[in-house]
Amino acid sequence: MAITVHEKTGVFHLNGGAFSYIMKRMPNGQMGQLYFGKAVRDREDYPHLLELAHRDMAPCAFDGDTTFSLEHLKQEYPAFGTGDMRYPAYEIMRENGSRISNFIYKGYEICPGKPKLAGLPAVYAENDREAQTLKLYLEDPVIGGELTLLYTVFEGLPVLIRSAYFQNKGQEKLYLTRAMSLSLDLPDSQYEMVDLAGASLRERHVKSHRLHEGVQSIHSMRGHSSHQFNPFLALKRGNADEFSGEVLGISLVYSGNFLAQVEVDTMNTVRITMGIHPQGFSWPLETGESFQTPEAVMVFSQEGLNGMSQVFHRLYGTRLVRGVWRDRERPILINNWEATYMDFDEKKILSLAEKARDLGIELFVLDDGWFGERNDDTTSLGDWYPNWKKLPSGISGLSRKINELGLDFGLWIEPEMVSPVSRLYEEHPDWVLGSRDRQICRGRHQYVLDFSRSEVVDYIGDRMEQIIKESSISYIKWDMNRSISDMFSSGWGAEYQSTVYHRHILGVYRLYERLTRAFPYILFESCASGGGRFDPGMLFFAPQAWASDDTDGIERVKIQYGTSYVYPISSIGSHVSAVPCHQTFRTTPLSTRAAAAYFGTFGYELDLGTLTEEELEEIREQVRFMKKYRQLLQYGIFYRLQSPFEGNDAAWMCVSPDRKQAVAAYFRFLQPVNTGFKRLRLAGLNPSGRYRISGRDYECYGDELMNIGLILSDWASGNRASEVPQGDFQARVFVMEEVR
């Protein structure tokens, strides 16, 4: 890790160990981007990398010099309106309507460690030795604006973290209408773009396509990061796969509207921008005011997609997640939702909890339906007091009765929403987002509370604190079931309506910060109608997130496979659910559902009273297995082995840091007919280590398991004599233990 500045030549070289990031002060005073890729030797200057050439019809910065055109130069944080015709990183409108700006180099500062970002989630450094931050200071003397570009490199991790900070030090009011967290220009377009797309119940499916001329982008304009697209993209070389090749991954630490865009110009150069979506965004800056963008995390890998993911896992798992639960094994829970939905009373809940206790489960979670007059999803959101008809001893009494059974107690909340049929809405109809002179769209019979207003956040925070203080709660599932469809706040004037999207998510962060500080021992799990807000911003406050409301064992393989591109396994909320599945109506074996759920936080979501004795005994064994191996499963090094998006099977594994232990899961979706034998190549093992393999009467060296593979011939089609279960939707779990 090193940040080297050559003041005479204006060269800045950020060495992240495996990569070099080099930029230079250009003749016009702006910052140019010279190189980002595999680490290279430092030198005083790289004049040949500032490539200049005459281009017909190109606007030029200097009269008489047709070679210096911003339209064809790689830039660090480009503007629109000074000769560059591509999409800019930022845009500022002046009082006179001009959108021309020109920030030129002023100076720099190198700081040990990593600064916090006010009001925003951010990666952190535990000490000043493990990170270095470069601050580049730029100014536009015409408007009196100052721009600080921040770059942080970490010791031992190939990551570069970037953001931008705007200040108005002039005399006129400015309007920031576009503010990306980063811009990156690359010299060629020979990449494939990989992103995570989908919808509710099929979140974060892996998509890939070759770059083409024009703009390709992913985005959210829903007020949250969304089920549709995750705030992440990767560019990989054509020969890159899970285990080798060059990959660049970029992830945005933000939970609101975002845009991630790749522009390929007709000269086949690439510009990547990522940050807050500019649609509906304009931030007024009075004299003395400032604006900080969310930060973007760039990961460089020469070990393929697995290498990229493992860096994200390590960084986010240890330097984004905070608090007492950062490194702790997650409790095995049961959630009553698919067992009872909202049709429950205290007797039914205690009966379910008692059965769970007998199976070795550690935590009982009470889901929706415990408050107000809540018997269905049409009422009571916002009325955060117990439903005394269902729970005569309230949440306080129920939580202590659960504790007396030997279980911890968890609770579901949805603090950002309000039902039209509720006391809160009757008293404060102006507290919802939407214009009062128009019909407001409803989703799930609820409105979105206006968290851009501090009085709304404070009220909800008071109610949440009272419930928690009165009860014995060790886990909270924080849900959010509604996108923002009607963006208008009665709490702000016309000029500030374009700030409400961002102010709203800052309000969500403020409430999270308040509750996590007040109750640091509570394990928070974020949720958004499943995986609609599974993003790095949420991980800063809640160390795990519910991956999807689709709990089907087969669909979860795809969802969790895609999620693992960015997010650590310890963050992936995963349950064994009821069958037929309540979302897909598919019936999968209990063992298959568990095999998927092992690679996450692990829990159950079904009615234990309907299971046979054989099924209950199988659950006991699953719980014992998870308790034995959850440290490895949740905090080991994760490898994707076979993609569920490319065939009839999938596989992944976790390996302990010392490589003495590993657990692998192999999934087969449909029963093949008359096919040949199959081998599964493993990864991450000690090549010279000798491993005992569960279900095998022989031992293998690590190099054999990685290069030849684990033999799966006992699962060959048509082998009626095999003791291994046959049929559709099957899974197998293998444990490898080094014996010498």
| Cα gap 277→275, rounded to integer Å | 6
Q: Is 417 helix (H, G, I), strand (E, B) or coil?
A: strand
DSSP annotation string for 54-107: --TT---SBTTBTT--TTTS-BSS--SSSS--S--SEEEE-TTS------EEEE
Mention every residue, 6+ apart, whose C-beta is less than 8 A from residue 259: 180, 217, 218, 219, 273, 274, 275, 276, 277, 278, 279
| Cα gap 576→606, rounded to integer Å | 8
Burial class (CB in 10 A: 0-12, 13-18, 19+), 64: exposed
185 neighbors 33 (Cβ within 8 angstroms): yes
182 neighbors 275 (Cβ within 8 angstroms): yes
The catalytic position among 185, 408, 450, 549 is 549
Q: What is the DSSP letter of 420?
A: S
Rounded to the nearest 5°, which phi and psi values hold at 148? -115, 120
Q: Residue 146: beta bridge partners? A: 139, 167
Q: Where are the alpha helices (DSSP H) in 204-322?
A: 304-319
| Cα gap 654→635, rounded to integer Å | 8
| Cα gap 312→252, rounded to integer Å | 12
- 316-322-326-331 Cα dihedral, nearest 10 degrees: -120
505 neighbors 222 (Cβ within 8 angstroms): no
Sign of dihedral through CA atoms 697, 702, 708, 712? Answer: positive
Q: What's the Cα-to-Cα distance from 385 to each of 370, 389, 468, rounded to whole Å?
A: 8, 12, 11
Burial class (CB in 10 A: 0-12, 13-18, 19+), 57: exposed
549 is annotated as an active-site residue: yes
Q: Residue 378: left if φ>0, alpha if ψ -120 to 50, beta else—which one?
A: alpha
Q: Residue 446: beta bridge partners? A: 443
Number of neighbours of residue 520 by Cβ within 10 angstroms: 11
Q: What's the Cα-to-Cα distance from 446 to each of 42, 321, 415, 434, 440, rounded to whole Å?
A: 58, 31, 12, 12, 10
Mention every residue, 6+ apart, whose C-beta is less than 8 A from residue 28: 61, 62, 68, 70, 104
What size, in residues, is the chain?
740
What's the token pair of residue 234? 């990767």
| Cα gap 419→128, rounded to integer Å | 47
To the nearest 5 percent, what fractions of the chain are helix, strand and coil?
A: 20, 30, 45
Strand 475-478 relative to strand 447-448, pairing: unpaired
What's the token pair of residue 112? 């040990």
479 is annotated as an active-site residue: yes
What's the token pair of residue 365? 């979670």
| Cα gap 708→677, rounded to integer Å | 13
- The per-residue b/e assignment along 500-509, b for 16 or more CB within 10 angstroms, e otherwise, is bbbbbbbbbb
581 neighbors 551 (Cβ within 8 angstroms): yes
The catalytic position among 479, 535, 550, 649 is 479
Sign of dihedral through CA atoms 142, 136, 191, 276? Answer: negative
Strand 333-335 relative to strand 603-605, pairing: parallel
Please give the positions annotated as active site.
479, 549
